[in-house]
Amino acid sequence: MQVTAWPYPARWAHRGAGKLAPENTLAAIRHGASLGYTMFEFDVKLSADGALILMHDPMLERTTDGHGRVAAFGLGELSRLDAGSWHSPAYAGEGIPTLARVARWLRANDCLANIEIKPCPGRERETGAAAALEAQSLWAEASVPPVLSSFSEDALAAAARAAPRLPRALLMDSVPADWAARADRLGCVAIDVSHRHVDAELIAQAHARGLKVLSYTVNDPQRARMLLDWGLDGLITDAIDLIAPA
């Protein structure tokens, strides 16, 4: 797969539905879609037995009724956890989805994906390669591939080796002096930067180098309009009820 144009919308739903539903669940993605969003950012990591699941934290406590390290449990054990009750009673019993399950839903409903590779500590290369290979397989016949992103340069490098034609974005909290060299070394099509550090000059510099610019987590509608007016290519937001999808 190779992106010959930029086929992605300008507004992306963070972790499925921002804070309106339990993050990184299929319920969240469905809720985001009900509000008109068609592009979804979510986090993936590996279970102990090598399954790719949607999960942000390395520990289970914040978003499930489980306890301990995600990497210590197999898919069977993780699939029995409640990943919805922490958010609200309406989502009690919502499970941790696999990447494969989410991909099937997204493709069946004409939605697109930004897969953030979020490795458990010490599993950066393993997770990057696994996520890229599975994404390549799950979206093999898709006209628009998922965007792979990560803060881990080791994970992105492994993803590039495993599935070089999938588009990649380098996530950065700040903007180091060598940001362009890092993105180039990893063969990225985009940089994905905290909105606190994005301005018109950065966007122009990236565009001049052939890079797209994404930004997280943009929750103020006025800030969103400013960034888009500067030419931002994609903003990632929790405020899917305040920032219209188009």
Active site residues: 14, 56
CB contact set of 136 (below 8 Å; sequence gap of 6+): 1, 162, 163, 165, 166
Q: What are the DSSP E strand ranges found in the chain?
A: 11-14, 39-46, 52-54, 112-117, 147-150, 168-172, 190-194, 212-216, 234-237
DSSP readout, 182-221?
HHHHTT-SEEEEEGGG--HHHHHHHHHTT-EEEEE----H
CB-facing half-sphere around the CA of 191: CA atoms within 13 A? 27
Q: How many angstroms separate the Cα of 16 from the Cα of each of 42, 55, 78, 102, 133?
A: 6, 12, 19, 10, 22
Structure tokens at 131: 């996520």
Quick check: 219 and 239 in contact, CB under 8 A?
yes
Q: Which residue in 178, 84, 166 sits closest to 129, CA to CA?
A: 166
Structure tokens at 140: 């093999």
